[in-house]
Amino acid sequence: MELFPRKPRTILDELTDLENMMPTYKEELLKVSKFIRRNVWEQVDDGFLLKLLGILNTLYSCSADVIGQDFEVISEYVSQFSKYICGYTPVDISKSSQALLEELWQEQIQKIILKQWTQLDPARRSEFDENEIFRKNLLEIMDDFWDTLTPEAMLAFWHPLKSYPKLIRGRKETRTQAIELAAPSLETIEKYHILNRWTPPRKRYLYLVDANNPSQNPEKVCLEEMRVSNPNQDVTIAQFTVQPDALKDRILDLDYEDITVENIFQQSKIRQISETDKIIQELRSGSSVTEHRIKKKLRQHQQEIRCVAQIFCGQHLLKQICTAIFTPLDDDSDSDDELKERCYKSFHLFAEWCEGKGIAGIRYPSTRMKLIHERGTNIVLFNADSAVADESTFRIIRNT
């Protein structure tokens, strides 16, 4: 007989052990624990749940000890837990557990992208342990992607500047001349230490609001981007005209706000079906279908098949990057030049990468509009003189 008999293990004990299994992934394990509490506990036999949690906790704790703390352990834990709950109880958590896994994986991807993004700035690599430094940085990954695109696939990622005929820009106070709404000179940028998201040091870019989407309020986007809060502040708004020699300039589209990962998968599936149908129709129109003829036809369509794959991979990559990086600055970073410069450094490096690829500008979502839960889209042009204000469109507005 034990002098001090141990208390029997409880479901709460097992859930606590689960939450503490891997300190590096404390937040993720807490989500798994909460999922079990809300979706399973009290829905199945307590004895069965206690035993299942005990077995899985023992098994995956050992796995974490052997292979180290790894997100794959959590993913496998959730999969096995769902498998046994669905297989041995009347509770069906297959869809909800899959949704949980997708959410957890998405968060992991975002964390990796943010690490990659931060590490673009050499000065910030010291913030990471040696084993956290990636073998390839994000721009090298973008090189691998961009430099292998077929001409057809590339059209899915950039559009000529003439595709955006309605572009506006605003300046505080009453203005009457086009030059007053132009991008500031290098001297002015240096004198007033003007910091913008995309503009590297000693360069001048032109920032415009994309006014082509009727569901957005471009004038409000202008006011938000200029941080106009005084309702009595006059603001001059004008339409900009693209210079003839810039109409065909390439604009990289990084506005993925209205495109979900599911949309990307669905569109890729549609392209695959369309390409498959073409191949089948061509095979049906000729002689008998043989293995040799099928392989020959696939080789003939190799460029198109490759294009479908590249568009899918590229859109998925850019969606993940955009979701991670386009977040509003907090109040401290927005008001502190040193913090703002630190936040913008990776954007500056990405803009220079774009210039090196022959891209003339970037279309991207307004993070200022995100703060008020609305949509807005901006365009930055690397040649600040490629569009000029149309003086006949000058108008004065206020933030009322």
Axis crossing angle, helix 138-146 with helix 94-119, rounded to the nearest 10:
100
Per-residue pLDDT, averaged over 159-167, amounts to 98
| pLDDT for residue 77 is more than 80 | yes
| pLDDT for residue 4 is more than 60 | no
340 vs 333: CA distance, rounded Å = 5
Per-residue pLDDT, averaged over 127-146, amounts to 93
pLDDT at 330: 74
Asked whether 351 and 198 are in contact (CB, 8 A), the reply is yes
pLDDT at 332: 66
Provide the whole-model pTM: 0.88
Per-residue pLDDT, averaged over 277-302, amounts to 85
pLDDT at 5: 63
Alpha-carbon distances, residue 94 vs 85, 106, 289 (angstroms):
9, 18, 41
pLDDT at 391: 97
| pLDDT for residue 262 is more than 90 | yes
| pLDDT for residue 85 is more than 60 | yes
- How confident is residue 213, by pLDDT bands cut at 50, 70 and 90? very high
Give 185-199 pLDDT, tens digit per residue: 999 999 999 999 999
| pLDDT for residue 222 is more than 90 | yes
| pLDDT for residue 79 is more than 60 | yes
Mean of all residue pLDDT scores within the chain: 94
Ramachandran category for residue 68: left, alpha or beta (phi over 0 → left; psi -120 to 50 → alpha) = left
Give 330-381 pLDDT, tens digit per residue: 776 677 888 888 999 999 999 999 999 999 999 999 999 999 999 999 999 9
Asked whether 185 and 204 are in contact (CB, 8 A), the reply is yes
- How confident is residue 39, by pLDDT bands cut at 50, 70 and 90? very high
Helix, coil or strand: residue 378: strand
Which helix H or strand E contains 76, and what residues bound it? helix 71-88
| pLDDT for residue 3 is more than 70 | no
Q: Could you tell me which of 183, 164, 216, 166 has the C-alpha nearest to residue 377?
A: 216
